[in-house]
């Protein structure tokens, strides 16, 4: 009886160890974390980040873009360019405190517009070089 318990405990350790080893083989620890540069645009009354700043990007190097609505009214953020020079974005309506994750990804150098479709004064440029 006692030997059986010892055997069960020993087998459990072996089984858990084997599963742990197999798990590490299947899912090796990730290498260096990838640092992704990002931008936070906060929609407030009349402007993104108060000044509708230019966003600089290098062609074919994506940048994380988070749009956060900290206003009391609905906003969105649109990038719409038919030339194919930049990845288009449409956050759909963002209500207060909602956010949207996107990427700025320019394919060709140039200047592209971002804007809020509700408020024409909320517009800035993405400059891809
Ligand atoms: Cu707006």
What does the pLDDT average to over 103-120?
97
Model pLDDT, residue 45: 92
Distance 1 CA to ligand 1 centre (A): 74
Place of tokens 């592209």: 112
**pLDDT at 12 exceeding the cut of 70:** yes
Q: Which residues make up the environment of ion ligand 1, defined by Cβ < 5 Å?
A: 75, 116, 118-119, 122
Distance 38 CA to ligand 1 centre (A): 21
For the chain, what is the mean pLDDT? Answer: 90
CA distance 80 to 8: 64
Q: What sections of the chain are H helices per DSSP?
A: 2-26
Tokens of 116: 């809020």
Q: Which residues pair with 64 in a beta bridge?
A: 38, 103
- CB-neighbour burial class of residue 32 (10 A; exposed 0-12, middle 13-18, buried 19+): exposed
Considering the entire predicted model, what is its pTM?
A: 0.73
């Amino acid at each position: 009886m006692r030997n059986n318990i010892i055997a069960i405990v020993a087998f459990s350790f072996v089984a858990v160890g084997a599963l742990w080893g197999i798990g590490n083989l299947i899912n090796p620890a990730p290498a260096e974390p990838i640092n992704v540069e990002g931008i936070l645009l906060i929609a407030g009354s009349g402007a993104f980040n108060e000044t509708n700043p230019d966003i600089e990007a290098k062609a074919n190097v994506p940048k994380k873009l988070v749009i956060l609505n900290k206003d009391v009214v609905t906003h969105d953020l649109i990038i719409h360019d038919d030339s194919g020079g930049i990845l288009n974005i449409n956050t759909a309506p963002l209500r207060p405190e909602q956010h949207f994750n996107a990427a700025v990804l320019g394919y060709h150098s140039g200047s592209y517009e971002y804007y809020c479709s509700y408020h024409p004064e909320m517009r800035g440029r993405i400059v891809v070089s």
